Structure 1
Amino acid sequence: MKLDVLAIGRLKAGPERDLVMRYAERLKGLGRGIGLDGPRLVELAESPARRDLDRKQEEARALVAEFREGYRLVLFDERGAALDSGQFAAMLGEWRDSGVPGASFVIGGADGLDPALRERAAKILAFGAMTLPHQLVRVLVLEQIYRAGTILSGHPYHRN
């Protein structure tokens, strides 16, 4: 199953980018043996629109252009459901085992995600009720996908 991480905004050089790349590389190495391919990392420019509604709609159009046919769409939003790491891994494993071709993990911009994207989502997840900077959310998403891979492979990285 192929994995995409789509994010509004570009990470500058620094510790957040270093962590994203570290988890992406770890996942590439681990994923081959357990049927996970990727991640494909896509950074999309923030909309220059003046109104937040217009920005969210423009960013949604850019995200939709990156969606791949048949992929499950997972949005990260502070109003989403909270899964523990084992539940998240089980979800990915179930999708993989049932022949889902891929999953796209979507991180919105500073104004959040357009409601039209919420309607298309297979899952809307949160890392808690607090608002987090999208740079840190990107790190958390990559770390949790990597952790899910370690859980699925029986690797000792995840300890209960």
Structure 2
Amino acid sequence: MKITVLTVGKIKERFYRDAIAEYAKRLSKYCKLEILEVADEKTPDAASETLEENIRQKEGERILKCIREDSYVITLEINGKMLDSVEFSQKIESLGIQGKSHITFVIGGSIGLCKEVRKRSDLALSFSKMTFPHQLMRVVLLEQIYRSYRIINGHSYHK
């Protein structure tokens, strides 16, 4: 299976980059991992809703250009479906059984995803009702994908 993590913005902090590299290394046993970054737009403080929508649109166009037509798309959204780790692993496993060979996870920018990206999504997934920095969500997502493969393969990491 190929897993693409498609994100808005670059990781600036070294500790996040180190954690991402560690999980990428661990995941190499289980899948082909690709991490794609698209440029983010600067969002001024107290931006109007119109400006925020324009920013989401620009970022969304960049995201959509990177999504392959045959990919199963999972967007990370605060109002998405919440799964526990076992359910998440079952979802990944069932996609493989159904013949899906490519999953793209999309992490939007600091003000979220535009409606066109959400419309392209096959599953909106939420990790919490809390708000997390999108750089941290990349680490959390990779850890959960790794945990899922450990569960699928009957290892005890997830306990």
Identify whether the pair has TM-score above 0.5, normalized to the shorter chain: yes
Q: Which residue of 2 aligns with 1:44?
A: 38
Residue of structure 1 equivalent to 2:126: 126
Runs (4+) of structure 1 exceeding 3 A deviation are none
Instruction: Please give the alpha-carbon distance, in whole angstroms, between the structure 2 residues aligned to 1:75 and 1:108.
Output: 8
How far did 1:48 drift?
4.4
SS in structure 2 of the partner of residue 18 of structure 1: helix
Q: What residue in structure 2 maps to residue 5 of structure 1?
A: 5
Give a deviation string over 1:122-157, Cα, whole Å, max 9, x none: 111111111110011111110001111101111221
Distance between the aligned counterparts of 1:48 and 1:127, measured in 2? 25
Aligned to 1:99: 99
Letter of the structure 2 residue corresponding to residue 80 of structure 1: G
5 Å-filtered alignment, 1:47-66, equals: 47-48=41-42, 51-66=51-66
Structure 2, gaps ≥5 residues long:
45-50
Q: Is the 8 A contact 2:5 2:104 kept in 1?
A: yes
TM-score, length-scaled by structure 1:
0.91
Cα distance in structure 2, aligned partners of 1:69 and 1:3: 14
Q: 1:34: which partner in 2?
A: none
Q: How far is the alpha carbon of 1:49 from its aligned partner?
A: 7.2
Compute the displacement of 1:69 (Å). Answer: 2.2
> How far off its partner does 1:3 sit?
0.5
**Residue 22 of structure 1 pairs with residue 10 of structure 2:** no
CA distance in 2, matches of 1:6, 1:116: 15
Q: Could you tell me the percent identity over the aligned residues?
A: 35
Unaligned runs of 5+ residues in structure 1 are 32-36
Structure 2 residue 139 is matched with structure 1 residue 145: no
RMSD over aligned CA atoms reads: 1.3
Matched to 1:83, the amino acid is: L
Task: Show the counterpart of 1:108.
Answer: 108
Q: TM-score, normalised by structure 2?
A: 0.92
Q: Distance in 1 between matches of 2:101 and 2:27?
A: 17
